[in-house]
Chains A and B, each alone.
Chain A
């Protein structure tokens, strides 16, 4: 068989494999539905095919074939909006919603991973075409390994100290240490808080982290992840037990209160520490002169 065939075949194979490996069916249980996995694997296969044919087409002086890459961009934007629409539609059935920022982050990730698949397939087929299958597959697998490392992103544990906190009521006002959380009107509700609630304090390491934790979407993502991993003591008609994260506006520290089904503080801290830092929440005041000057 010709080296064009092997270039395209190896590009498609390595690209599709890369999409499978990038699909993290992790603790957040997404995408764990079998049909969502099939959807994304199929789209990954298409992305890999588009990437794999580009270089053999160019070599054959079929320059119009490259316009297919533009088609890919449209296709992947569609993936993003499909994911966003689905997650927004499901939001109302969550006891603790993900929040718009988290959804946008997930949708953007799905789009970006298809581009990565396209580039991996392009690289694999290009190297196979000019250097042979063995080197092509080695290049492809190395690219997959590098990409898997790069897409990791930061977690809350990288930007803040996460520790257990104390909570108390001052009359009807609930505080986590010095952070006011909310006004809890009913005595019976306060009693349930005293029996079941857990408090967590997040202390940002620097001004960048302080601004990330100030983002309301980031805080909602923390509440969602903690509630989905440890379970939440609430139902649709008990809104007063919604987990809340509030900010000390003097220091930027965050106080969190939650009523988990599993009352294990260490597991709760683990859950909070591993929440991803959302791309939309990232702020870097320390990268600017004004930010550094204000930080001291």
Chain B
């Protein structure tokens, strides 16, 4: 449904939210998961994706 990345690197094809640092990234991912009723997954390369299962 969406991705949250620092400086928007490594992601395309979904709405991308850019964060300045890891703390902001985690906060944004939490808010997005609550709003979209999705689950946050860590891609392992500094990108969080929000997925509705």
A residues engaging B (CB < 8 A)? 171-172, 182-189, 236-240, 242
Q: State A183–B48 Cα separation when bound (angstroms).
A: 11
Question: Does B26 lie within 8 Å of A186, measured CB to CB?
Answer: yes
| Least CB distance, B5 to chain A, in whole angstroms | 12
Task: Tell whether B9 is near chain A: CB-to-CB under 8 Å.
Answer: no
Given contacts A239-B52, A239-B53, contact A185 B34 (CB under 8 A): no
Q: State A184–B30 Cα separation when bound (angstroms).
A: 12
Question: Does A185 lie within 8 Å of B40, measured CB to CB?
Answer: yes
Write out, one digit per residue, whether chain B residues 20-45 have a CB within 8 A of any chain A CB (1) or not (0).
Answer: 00000010011001110111111010
- Interface of B, secondary structure class, is mixed
Q: State A186–B33 Cα separation when bound (angstroms).
A: 10
Given contacts A188-B30, A239-B33, A239-B53, contact A183 B41 (CB under 8 A): yes
| Least CB distance, B7 to chain A, in whole angstroms | 18
| Least CB distance, B23 to chain A, in whole angstroms | 10
Q: State A189–B37 Cα separation when bound (angstroms).
A: 14
B residues near A189, Cβ cutoff 8 Å: 40
| Least CB distance, B3 to chain A, in whole angstroms | 11
B residues near A172, Cβ cutoff 8 Å: 41-42, 44
A residues near B53, Cβ cutoff 8 Å: 239, 242
A residues near B26, Cβ cutoff 8 Å: 186-188
Question: Does B29 lie within 8 Å of A186, measured CB to CB?
Answer: yes
Q: State A184–B37 Cα separation when bound (angstroms).
A: 15
| Least CB distance, A258 to chain B, in whole angstroms | 15
Interface centre among B42, B44, B48, B49 (most CB of A within 10 A): B42
Q: State A257–B48 Cα separation when bound (angstroms).
A: 22
Q: State A95–B39 Cα separation when bound (angstroms).
A: 15
| Least CB distance, B6 to chain A, in whole angstroms | 14
Q: State A183–B42 Cα separation when bound (angstroms).
A: 7
